[in-house]
Structure 1
């Protein structure tokens, strides 16, 4: 019954946000509502409270017990791992405020369907990783805005329905990748925390 409520409520809320709110705000909220059912099924099937926590964090509720550095490190490591697993080329590597970050290189003006798919998984991976580990996704809004930009830069037009499908698909595949390769992901998290080189991080994934 909870699944029905989540799916039904998210669908109604997503449609309402597109119909009643300004385009940018409506699209962003629509992505949030589109993501909630897949997070509920893939992450919170045994603990529905995860979904409630994720919604609360998107609204800006305070998260207790987790340092910002720990959360950001895990978030960025998820982007790195999923991006690499999806075949995205690494463009740059930097350390900001003690957190390692990686930038992927793609032609952002004309994204192919394959690149859009890979970037959909990569963009949502940080949000999914936070939800899986902490039960809350503080970085949700940033990831969803990134995903919206990916859709806009697609060489082929992606309608609202297709965007919602890609959002669900991207979140599901990010969750599956992180779960399947959890041991390597955890090693990369530690590598990011200790500011190891991108070569060291790649070596972990290829070992």
Structure 2
């Protein structure tokens, strides 16, 4: 089962156990918690086996989305990915700001910015990934965390972004470089966002309105006098 489904099951069991203990006080039949537990566990199992845990993801995302501050943080996180990808010439294929939007677009119930990473996949598969391409993608992956940290002082999201960096380094047999690469890429992304602040704010507003990718790119271009297309190599 997915981590989300397991967490939901744990919370459900705790709540139902508590209700069974307090049931006699409120004249609640012991059968009610038992039936509810059976039904919820069945739904969690069905979600995991049939939908790969997407139902649990949608539920958690819906609950979290009730907070306006949380929605704003997500937009700023994803705008960081989008902007840095644009600046580093990595094509953006699309984006979704929550699990439901991603699901409706025909993708797994996981929001985020989608990139055209065929070049990366090909080079990794052939075992000839260049240091420059690796640095570019790592910078893009860490850009969401960098954007959150820049605006809020810390990042709530980004666990999957860190995992992408570590996964590709593990595939390249360089797992020991994980933390160093994350820090370096985060600093590079932060520098790019800071030096293109007007473009970043324009992009945040555009993504909040769910404007198409082409329109978002046009706004970045208009807000950027001289787009930065190069950055240093961490191996130097």
Q: Smaller-chain TM-score range?
A: 0.5 to 0.7
Q: Deviations over 1:131-156 (max 9, x none)?
A: 111122101323211221232344xx
Of residues 164-173 and 96-105 in structure 1, the stretch that sits farther from structure 2 once superposed is 96-105
Unaligned runs of 5+ in 1: 1-64
Unaligned runs of 5+ in 2: 1-66, 103-110, 223-236
Cα distance in 2 for partners of 1:116, 1:153 equals 12
- Residue 70 of structure 2 aligns with which residue? 68
2:167 maps to 1:149: yes
Deviation at 1:95, TM superposition (A): 5.6
- Residue 145 of structure 2 aligns with which residue? 127
* 1:58-137 equivalences in 2 (<5 Å): 67-94=69-96, 96=98, 97=100, 101-107=112-118, 108=121, 110-111=123-124, 112=129, 113-137=131-155
- Residue 164 of structure 1 aligns with which residue? 179
Structure index of larger Rg: 2
Cα distance in 1 for partners of 2:202, 2:175 equals 38
Cα distance in 2 for partners of 1:167, 1:78 equals 15
Deviation at 1:68, TM superposition (A): 1.5
Secondary structure of 2:81's aligned partner: helix
CA contact 1:120–1:150 (8 Å) conserved in 2 = no
Instruction: Give the TM-score normalised by structure 2.
Output: 0.53
CA contact 1:120–1:166 (8 Å) conserved in 2 = yes
Q: Deviations over 1:42-88 (max 9, x none)?
A: xxxxxxxxxxxxxxxxxxxxxxx962211111101100111111111
Secondary structure of 1:91's aligned partner: strand
Bigger relative CO (Cα 8 Å, ≥ 6 apart) = 1
In angstroms, what is the RMSD of aligned CA positions? 2.4
CA contact 2:74–2:97 (8 Å) conserved in 1 = no
Number of equivalenced pairs: 140
- Residue 52 of structure 2 aligns with which residue? none
Cα distance in 2 for partners of 1:66, 1:143 equals 23
Cα distance in 2 for partners of 1:127, 1:117 equals 16
